[in-house]
Amino acid sequence: MSNDAAKSRLSIGSEKVSTSSSDIPSLLEFGLTPLQEKIFVSLVSASGMSTTQLSKMTAAHRSDIYRALHKLVKIGLVETSVGNPSRYYATEPIKAVRLLVEQKRKELLHLESKTDMISEWLEKERENAIVSSSLSNSEEEEPATFRLVKGNAVTPKVLQSIQSARTEIIKVVSAQALRRHYFEFADFEKEATARNVTVRILTEVIPQNYRIALNYSKCVHLRHVANLDRSLRYLIIDGCELVLAGTVEYKDELDRSILTTKNSVLVQGCASYFEDMWLKSISIEERLRLVQGSLGKNERVSSEKSKSRPF
């Protein structure tokens, strides 16, 4: 591999050793420190270097260079020659990346082996806190409390709420979010219906999601309401817990978040609004006839236009 090719395969935060592509992932994501990354990429683009050369190349103190090299040699990314001065060489890039991935895999397995122990410890901490709270006669959390849940914690929280349901689940879901709700929650809502929990969903059925809506309606009570993009999207469990969706688009990515509360005024207000919309909604069968009729009409118009065009 040429020096230019080696540089273009890896990215570092150095002006002296840089890459030509801004979207190449950094070795920091694989567990290296910034200095270790600079050293390795410097060695990839050279046929062996001494610590003095590396110190000049990276603008780092030689003692820091030695520590970083010791770690790189230990994990197999760098080899050294015996001499005075010693010279250091980078392992083949493809081998180096595989070694880094394997190291991350081992770290993950190590963490997974501690999952049960950590979970038990945290459960005991929570139980102790509950006991201490009851002994000190401290007040319970106010029902007006709001809790904000964001990112990867959103789906587990919604699933927990669905699985805790005893009588009824009602949801207002936007047309755009229907597909995600179907794939993430439908199986759990189907399990809820098997426990005699009523699941009712209001959504907007459009040509882009009508097949998903049809499949979803086979396991829950699903009806269509127009212009739901102007409505709040939420989930209510057993008439006492409100999960309010707050997902927004941020820099072309979904910033998923929810707000949960047991505030009775808000829960009852949203439940009442849901019932009003439910009365105005139409069945999935009726909506599908309209959607499919519209699709058929558009296809006929398109076909007629294509026939009228000259060759």
Q: Indicate whether this model's pTM tops 0.75.
A: no
Residue 31's φ and ψ, nearest 5 degrees, are 110, 0
Give the bridge partners for 236, in sequence order: 170, 242
pLDDT score of 117: 86
Sign of CA dihedral 103, 104, 108, 114: positive
Nearest one of 188, 198, 292, 195 to 237, comparing CA atoms: 198
CA dihedral 297, 223, 199, 264 (to 10 degrees): 140
Domains (ranges, CATH) in the chain? 3-111 (1.10.10.10), 143-298 (3.30.870.10)
Cis status of the peptide bond prior to 207, with omega within 30 of 0: no
pLDDT score of 228: 80
Query: In order along the chain (311 residues), what is the average pLDDT of each group of 10 residues?
Result: 44 43 70 90 87 90 91 89 84 89 88 86 81 58 74 89 95 92 94 95 92 93 88 91 74 68 92 94 91 64 46 34
> For residues 38 and 59, is the Cβ–Cβ distance under 8 A?
no
Tracing tokens 């599908």 back to the chain, one arrives at 288
Nearest one of 215, 216, 191 to 202, comparing CA atoms: 216
> For residues 244 and 260, is the Cβ–Cβ distance under 8 A?
yes
